[in-house]
Amino acid sequence: MALPQELLGLLVYLAVVLGGLAALWFFTVRRDLIRRMKRVVEILEEELRPRDKSYTLLGYLVGFRAVYRSPRIRGVDTAWALYTQPPRHVLLYLPLLHLYGARERLELTLRLSRPPRGEAHLYAPWDRATRREVERDTAGAALRAEPLELAGEEMRLLTDGSPEARAAAVELATQLARVLGEPPLRVTLSQRHRALHVALEPRIATLRNAVRTVARYAEKLQEQR
């Protein structure tokens, strides 16, 4: 059955209006996301001050992977960063992003000259992406699990029994919680990979101090050896 001419015209009008709103939202929010990404890059480079760097832009997400070689951190030869933002510039994605709790995320990994003593993973089990990553990284490992409260949030701690690794993960996470005003999503010390790994939800106002805190703690780990 053919639609009345008035209804058909109204539907066409609504489609044009919605298309215009979606396009306006896309370009406005996308521009803001790109500006934010550039600011994150600036802060990382200013704090890490690497001798060499390389970037790979991600696809539909506004984000990047970065390799920073010879950062100005004692005892660290390479740093990696992974920064992602949910695609909020796509209007139709917003309900799904809200449903799945998608969040902006920065992961920073430092390769240490001397491995930390043991293995520890302190993470936010309520963050789906973080929980999946920790489960993947620790699959098959014999680790002890315990609950831990940090800055009013219920966290989970996995360790190989090393008191040094446990204490270091808790100490760094506590320092970051003070800087960020909330717990980091993850703090990992890995003896096998000679690595210190941190994941957090970045805020431009506190990101510089957060990166500085991680860098200083990496240096502290080297001094304790």
Q: What is the mean pLDDT of residues 172-195?
A: 96
- Domain segments of the chain as ranges: 5-223
Residues 6+ apart with CB under 8 A from 64: 37, 41, 55, 56, 57, 58, 81, 82, 83
Residues 6+ apart with CB under 8 A from 77: 69, 70, 111, 113
Q: What is the tens place of the pLDDT at every residue in 107-127?
A: 999 999 999 999 999 999 999
Q: What is the tens place of the pLDDT at every residue in 33-62?
A: 888 889 999 999 999 999 999 999 987 667
**Do 68 and 81 meet the contact criterion of CB atoms below 8 Å apart?**
yes
Residues 6+ apart with CB under 8 A from 22: 91, 92
